[in-house]
Structure 1
């Protein structure tokens, strides 16, 4: 009778491992495995290995004999630049005269020097209307949340500003299908979120959220649940070339530039990014026909009764210029920079230059530095402000600057005079931006979009191509 082969022993699993561990001979020594992250070179004891600061980021160290391997995977290594990154494309002048970092304090100016500076300011401002029209608007998309009693005072103020910005966009017929909304200095992306909410029934809508920081917020998760396409661009506006962004190259959608309290220099970088990215036809993007009106003159502003083709986004790009509109809430003029400022030609035309600009941009903080009590009390008891720290109005801290010291021009100007000069400096800087846009075929306007009790920086810059002719006069 043939012998049967012995059955193959199968692993008995966890119990067998435990049993073997119990019966392991007492003199058996287990050799610990060397961690893969720290391989020990042959012939070197652990204590003999030297750790050195990482040359890419000295905040952490690495074994000297593993340096080359570490540099290839270090999180601080220079990463490949995105296709839309073009070094200093929106930077402006490259040969600006160097101004010493320690600029002459305004408080050190003699009475004659300060009076001469103020005289130049008033002369340059002749012919510029210092009274802006109050255009506080709202939008249906935020009606429910504005009436929510759970909102704290700080949150309520942000919502009122966002509602007014959307109201202006609707008035300019910028809230429609077949567009790409580029939010500069996006932060949490709340402004884009509300634009998306207002456009919930439209199609072919894209959002580009431009922000230097890597942080993403919980509102991003809400975006993914909607049909609109959201994309974050982690890049400094100074290096952003819009006509190299893949989605714009492919779709050739008209762009709407938006921003809520885009600080100082960032506003100038954003304007140059929008206007000059499409100035050349290297990539064929700006071969679109000139902008036309989407609606007739007698169409009620703010109506969203789009045709079927408009709702699907078909042929809409043929009805708009590459940049269909700009809506930016301005702030922090004391952070402007002559090198990046778009209104240099205007300053030169009125007999001013870099020296005067550097004084005026610092003097602009006088417009709000007499209101520190109002600012500090605005959110002192609002628990929601802590959660919105990244959305907080940075300009609200302007009064902490040296120029805001009440003694900075003691005996030379009263508090009210300083406030007036500050507003005049801001107006002069903003008017240079208006002329920059006008010279490039846009109808640009400055207006108050909210009350000063809601935000001390309450001026909105809007612009649409001249051909649209739908911007109602707000002069």
Structure 2
């Protein structure tokens, strides 16, 4: 009997064969049809019960639509062109490259043994100029202690470990407090902002902006109905984001804290420009046009409820922009091989040391040596050396052992990050790099933190 029921369930399924999954589609078709709505375009016109013909949507052929309802569908299709939001400004966080050759496609640029050997010599000279070891600052915020115990081990536990340390560093820098607008760049499912909210007092004001260029599945946005702060998700590429025009920032005047976990490649550079070049720094004192002194973020809840706020808003229309300042940033770096010279913020730093676009492209390629799994076999066992099996001939010709290649990859990453630190320092920030988690948790374990330099009026 159970077998018949299971067989009956199988007959109810869509008849479309999903080739890359090697099985039939699991969706249930309508009565009298063999295919579900997603694959209804495969239904023959003569099928019983299928009186209307379905065609692929012209905006996105991944789904289908009834031919006689096409015009109605085009008005509400999720793939239709939509009006650009007010905070969209094309390429505001990048700049045109003045080099004859750009490095948009780092992976396709040819690498020769002689060139790489010369670059390694430059890396070693460059590394001598950098300060000593990156300090370790592996912290654990109290709000994640219990979730870590419940997570056990595995990917979820590793993500919580990283989030716990990021929150610990936010607290260490006095940024984990109410009265801020936390902007999570590359938010994805929004877990980092979620834990920041959980760490804040439930009865205090805060705001959260989740920035991502795509729609993520299984978001945790639904868990934010209770607790501190308001959440807003902006679907936009950071490259085109003008924070000054986001309503909650330009009207409310929240001090901005930039956060991010594993912000890939050029996305980090976009975020740094977005914060450091669009908004002013939050100094210890801000003087209004009327001479009233505005306190720092920790006192803003009390102060904005008083008369001072009303005076400022009435006498100075530009107060919203003065209030929306950068209080700091904490970003976990990732995927340096996906950086592009056109978008990179540390070009001045590189040029001052005789390095240009081509050197940058090769550095990005070599940076992957730090995380590409040298010394680990496909089953995760140690001691496997892929030299001789690689498709890149120069890697075997250089005759470098595993530890040397990993060290060179780490030096490349550090050089790229040093340019970012220099960029922030030239714009009034005290920027530092920190090791925020153990390499066994994540090989991408460097955290970029920055606070405005203290200015006393």
TM-score normalised by the chain length of structure 1: 0.71
Q: Which residue of structure 2 lines up, in the alignment, with residue 93 of structure 1?
A: 96
The alpha-carbon deviation at position 270 of structure 1 amounts to 0.8
Alignment partner of 1:266: what SS?
helix
CA drift at 1:314: 10
User: Take 1:326 and 1:68, find their aligned partners in 2: how far apart are those partners?
Assistant: 46
Instruction: Give how far 1:238 is off.
Output: 0.8
1:323 equivalent among 317, 323, 326: 326
Aligned partners of 2:94, 2:71: CA distance in 1, in Å?
Answer: 35
- Structure 2 Cα separation of the partners of residues 363 and 225 of structure 1: 46
Residues 257, 325 of structure 1: 8 Å contact kept: yes
Residue of structure 2 in register with 1:461 after alignment = 448
Once residues 347 and 94 of structure 1 are traced to their aligned partners in structure 2, the CA distance between those partners, rounded to angstroms, is 14
Greater RCO (CA < 8 Å, at least 6 residues apart): 1
**Counterparts of 1:378-389 in structure 2 under 5 Å?**
none
CA distance in 2 between counterparts of 1:291 and 1:275 reads 21
> Match for residue 199 of structure 2?
198
Instruction: Work out the number of aligned pairs and report it.
Output: 386
What displacement does 1:220 show?
Answer: 1.3
Structure 1 residues 189-225: Cα deviation after superposition (integer angstroms, max 9, x where no partner): 1111111111024511000011122235352111022
Structure-1 separation of matches of 2:187 and 2:167: 15
- 1:125-136 paired onto structure 2 within 5 Å: 125-136=127-138
- Computed over aligned residues only, the root mean square deviation of the Cα atoms, in angstroms, reads 4.0
After alignment, is 158-167 or 114-123 more displaced? Answer: 114-123
1:181 is matched with: 182
Deviation at 1:87, TM superposition (A): 1.3
Q: Distance in 1 between matches of 2:419 and 2:293?
A: 25
The change in CA–CA distance for 1:308 and 1:338 in structure 2 (over 3 A counts) is: closer
CA distance in 1, matches of 2:165, 2:357: 35
Question: Counterpart of 1:166?
Answer: 167
Return the TM-score normalized by structure 2.
0.73
Distance change in 2, residues 1:349/1:213 (3 Å): same
The equivalent residue for 2:246 is 245
1:453 is displaced (CA, Å) by: 1.0
**Structure 2 Cα separation of the partners of residues 237 and 314 of structure 1:** 37
Residue 346 of structure 2 aligns with which residue?
343
1:250 positional shift: 1.5
Query: 2:64 aligned with 1:78, yes or no?
Result: no
Which residue does the alignment assign to 2:11?
none
Where in structure 1 are there 5+ consecutive unaligned residues? 1-45, 296-305, 379-398, 470-475
Structure 2: distance between partners of 1:403 and 1:268: 34
1:410 equivalent in alignment to 2:362:
no
Contact 1:255–1:322 (Cα < 8 Å) also in 2: yes
Match of 2:413 in 1: 426
- The CA distance in 2 between the partners of 1:270 and 1:203, in whole Å, is 27
1:284-343 residue CA offsets vs partner (Å, 9 max, x unmatched):
x99899997668xxxxxxxxxx79727979989999770000000001101111111111
Counterpart contact for 1:177–1:202, Cα < 8 Å: no
**1:327/1:286 Cα in 2 relative to 1: closer, same or farther (>3 Å)?**
farther
- Structure 1 residues 194, 311: closer, same or farther in 2, change over 3 A? farther
Larger radius of gyration: 1
